[in-house]
Amino acid sequence: MEENVTFMPRIGEKAPAFTAKTTQGIINFPKDYEGKWVIFFSHPADFTPVCTSEFMTFANMEKQFNEANCELVGLSVDGLYSHIAWLRTIKEKIEYKGMKDIEINFPLIEDISMEVSKQYGMIQPGESSTQAVRAVFFIDPKGTIRTILYYPLSIGRNFQEIYRALIALQTADAFEVACPADWQPGDEVIVPTAGSCGVAKERMDDKDELDCKDWFFCTKKLDKDLVLKTILKK
């Protein structure tokens, strides 16, 4: 008997293309989002409490994501009418952590066939063969997958980390740097590792711009206002 293997796209690969019915109409993904970052995420089911808390949080933060040139796209294996009924319930009845009257304006994909979920490895048989896990794909303006986060059914996502990772990815691209552990805008960034002995020596001798812990580990200041001005739309 053949083992049921779940495949998923990897970081650095193009996001698998598909056309799908959503609560905001038909979308062609990722073609419709060329030039923008996308956070494409899955959730297990409509009318479930953890998913409800997540959708309310995403909707509450949507403006922040949009200002960073990022669109949100959700998915579950439920049908369109279930999606619509659930989103109406959220707006009309649910209050959570001070959030109420929350309207979800980003598209929620209908994936009853699980075709899209399987393309993205969102169905993890060891967790559930009928529900998608809590996957998050960060897709850049060229349609390339840049970061992947996976959570089990029982644990809600950290939305501040999702936003932080988005800003960090854009900062790394814009300034050709790397971001260290727990990086936030305004923190020091890491410059690329020296590629020769000469460059390594120059960096160790440079006390003005760089702070070198050793030849391979040099940081520099990157102004918070510069980062935000570069990334966020005003």
Q: Which residues are known catalytic residues?
A: 51
Which residues, 6+ apart, have CB-to-CB distance to 229 below 8 Å? none
Which residues, 6+ apart, have CB-to-CB distance to 149 below 8 Å? 135, 136, 157, 161, 162, 165
CA dihedral 208, 211, 214, 218 (to 10 degrees): -110
Residue 9 has φ and ψ, to the nearest 5°, of -65, 160
The maximal CA–CA distance of the chain, rounded, in angstroms, is: 65
* Listed residue (20, 230, 219) closest to 113, CA to CA: 20
Query: Starting from the edge strand earliest in sequence, which strands make up the sheet with 189-190, in order?
Result: 189-190, 217-220, 210-214
